[in-house]
Amino acid sequence: MPHAKTSYVCLPCRASYKQPYDRDRQRTCPRCANPLIHVGSAFAAPRRRDTAAWRTLSVLLHAGVRFHKTCCGGPGYRPRTLREARDRMTYAQRTGTPYAEALTLRHVP
């Protein structure tokens, strides 16, 4: 039985690729030859023209947030706009919460 495919992203190209997961192999972008970022199997890529969504995705990925499936379904809450991400990062700075944890909060206290 073949392994399930998972998503990889190239942020400079704004491209997403589904490929079999292999922990030991570094994937490269076929367009620009930059390393691809493993984002998980529950990832849904935004349209290439949607620059705001790709900026938000870049913030999430640089903070260490990924889109892996959980036992109960999808990856959970992820901010969709820069404003939502900015609010959560401000909360993280005020409280000392790690960025990755604050970015996955559904409601900011």
Q: HSE on the CB side for 60, CA within 13 Å? A: 29
Q: Are the CB atoms for 99 and 63 separated by under 8 Å?
A: yes
Nearest-angstrom CA–CA distance, 6 and 21? 6
CB atoms within 10 A of CB 27: 16
Average pLDDT, integer, range 87-103: 93
Report the pLDDT value the prediction gives residue 78, as an integer from 0 to 100.
Answer: 87
Residue-wise over 38-60: b if at least 16 C-beta within 10 A, else e?
Answer: bbbbbbebbeeeeeebbebbbbb
Q: Average pLDDT of 7-12?
A: 96
What confidence tens digit (pLDDT) does each residue in 38-84 have? 999 889 999 999 999 999 999 999 999 998 876 666 677 888 899 99
Give the DSSP H or E segment for 38: strand 37-40
What are the domain boundaries of the chain?
A: 5-103
What global pTM score does this model have? 0.84
Q: What is the phi/psi pair of residue 84, to 5°?
A: -60, -45
Task: Check pLDDT > 80 for residue 6.
Answer: yes
Stretch (H or E) spanning 6: strand 5-10
Average pLDDT value over all residues in the chain: 89
* pLDDT-based confidence at residue 21 (cuts at 50, 70, 90): confident
